[in-house]
Amino acid sequence: ERLNNEEVIIGDGGMTYALERRGYVKAGVWTPECVMENPEAVQQLHREFLRAGADVIQAFTFAMQDKPLVSAGYSYKWNEISHAGSLLAKGVSGEGEFALASGSLCETGSLFRKGLASKEEIQQRFRDQVQIFVDTGMDLIIAEYISHVQEAEWMVEVIKESGMPTAVSLAISREGDHHGVLPGECALRLVRAGADIIGVNCRFDPERSLDTIALMQEAIQREGLKTHWMVQPVGYWVPDAGPSGFTSIPENPLALEPRLMTRIEAHKFARKAYNMGVRYIGGCCGFEPYHIRAVAEELAKERGRFPPGSDKSCLWGKALVHHAEPQIARRANREYWENLEPATGRPFSAAYATTEDTWKTSQDD
């Protein structure tokens, strides 16, 4: 309804990588058992995104199978994690004047990719998780980080059964999904399946993600269809990444910091996305609360409000005018920061890397 009223919706940022850096998620396994072991850490990150201006707090439910939990030595079940994560997101969203809580549904991995489960079996898994989101009072469901549009269509079918608003975000680039379906065709299939909001998330940086959105938009416009658009890229610059995105970068996951986007770049990303007609704008892995705050501040005029955290952010460094060092004080303006080309400070570092991309279409498996 808010998108239909032409409101700009700010999504939250990345939970998995942020909580790994904070010491609550194990790199490589990436399972969200911290919603049960350290719920206060998850709540705190949710609250930081809320204060930064996020309108949607996504449940940290990045798990669709028990196998990764078992292999990591945990006794938790994915449905227990989904329930606990949903309650945390719902609770924090209730602290905000404008915030909604979203269930987060992700792909089943090898179950779909390798044909280890039938459509009916996979959809029943989705149905079980969707029911948890319904029972815990989620306001919408976001199906995200999906490599195959066919599995996304299966997700839409299940979510629509619940009557919940349906957002679907593919983890693809200009090359298309892992079956080789191009972005335009992916978009058409999602809209025809009944998704209310479509777009891309994760794997690729803001520029490549928006390039993919543009291809999807062309197809939708060509067919005379309409939809709402969302984008939630990674917060790292990976123009040298292969078709599988930032996982092909040799710095992933433990040395990505040199590639981290600045808050100024988050401003530019938000403006470009808005100018393209995208009205749900957030981030995925690498997007910290200060990035989301920059997005919310950039679009404050369009939204009619600044985020709560703006009381301390000193937009465009305006408070730097009070700095004791003259060279710092002179930077208290938008022009300086928008024209800055940040240096890495790393002697002899390469601008781009040789990637190790194992991506292949599912037909190659």
Binding residues for Zn(2+): 202, 284-285
Looking at the DSSP assignment, which residues form a beta bridge with residue 281? 10, 231
Q: Output 215-221 pairs: Cβ under 8 A, ≥24 positions apart.
A: 215/174, 215/182, 215/183, 215/184, 216/183, 216/184, 216/186, 216/187, 217/187, 217/276, 217/277, 218/184, 219/183, 219/184, 219/185, 219/187, 219/188, 220/184, 220/187, 220/188, 220/191
Residue numbers in the known binding site are 202, 284-285
Cα–Cα distance list, 86 to 1, 83, 89, 159, 258 (Å)? 22, 5, 5, 16, 33
- Sign of the Cα torsion 110, 112, 113, 117 reads positive
Within a 10 A sphere around the Cβ of 322, how many other Cβ atoms? 10
Locate tokens 């009944």: which residue? 194
Per the listing, tokens 């988050």 go with 266
Instruction: Give every strand in the sheet of 100-106, ordered side by side.
Output: 9-10, 280-281, 228-232, 197-201, 166-170, 140-146, 100-106, 56-58
